[in-house]
Amino acid sequence: GAVVSQHPSWVICKSGTSVKIECRSLDFQATTMFWYRQFPKQSLMLMATSNEGSKATYEQGVEKDKFLINHASLTLSTLTVTSAHPEDSSFYICSAIVEVGGNQPQHFGDGTRLSIL
Amino acid sequence: KQEVTQIPAALSVPEGENLVLNCSFTDSAIYNLQWFRQDPGKGLTSLLLIQSSQREQTSGRLNASLDKSSGRSTLYIAASQPGDSATYLCAVPGGANNLFFGTGTRLTVIP
């Protein structure tokens, strides 16, 4: 149980393109989803926290107008990288928790590798 | 802000050896600590979740220990195999249920 599906797994596109990444909880409802970014040989860094039906909370240094997050349902959150540039090339990974609380394990998607040419 | 550090950054061992990976965190007020495995270019596989009230958690050849007061956790891998080669990450939850990840240990088990 507690499967998170992320799509697509790999994207290559030209500079200036907008790219949408989907994160779905397949067998549970997720009120909260998280988006992380991982640059080569670095660890995962939280970008934003996505709550169903409300605006996302962005970490310091993450541009909310560039990384648009929508969490319109309890099973889907999307991250749109607008006008992507080569420096946005990274591994993006989402996670979800079943319910808010201090002791909830996170369930991760398989990640999306984004390459901007 | 919580900071999580892992030592060593990389480790190479011959097959069959037992090994220990280390994780330290600055804020000991944690609910739990998780160990993950990440294969190159892939997502995360949860290995063990150890609650703050626990001292150890075991799964197969893996054993994780937690010492909250000293801000440390270790992951012990017994009888290592080439298939264990991956990056191992430890993570602790933040106040908003997000995770703070360590810098990772890249393990290579040589056949």
* Residue among B87, B51, B90 at smallest CA distance from B74: B90
User: Rounded distance, CA A6 to CA A23, Å?
Assistant: 5
pLDDT in tens, A31-51: 889 999 998 888 899 999 988
What per-residue confidence (pLDDT) applies to A101? Answer: 60
Q: Round to whole Å and give the CA distance between B20 and B38.
A: 17
Q: Is A30 on the interface with B (CB under 8 A)?
A: no
If phi > 0 it is left, if psi is from -120 to 50 it is alpha, else beta; for residue B97 that is left
The dihedrals phi and psi of B25, each to the nearest 5 degrees, come to -135, 150
Q: How many CB pairs under 8 A join A and B?
A: 60
Q: Name the residue among B9, B32, B19 with its Cα closest to residue B74.
A: B19
**What is the C-alpha to C-alpha distance for residues B109 and B107, in angstroms, rounded to an integer?**
7
Q: Looking at the complex, report in whole angstroms how far the Cα of residue A103 sits from the nearest Cα belonging to chain B.
A: 6
What mean pLDDT do residues A56-65 have? 93
The token duo for A112 is: 């999306």
Q: Do B44 and A108 touch (CB under 8 A)?
A: yes
C-alpha B92/C-alpha B64 separation (Å) is 14
> Would the CB atoms of A110 and B43 count as touching at under 8 Å?
yes
Closest CB to B98: pick one of A34, A103, A109.
A34
* pLDDT by position in tens, chain B (length 111): 889 999 999 999 999 999 999 999 999 888 899 999 999 888 898 899 999 999 999 999 999 999 999 999 999 999 999 999 999 999 998 877 788 999 899 999 999
User: What is the arithmetic mean of pLDDT over A21-40?
Assistant: 91
DSSP state of B8: -
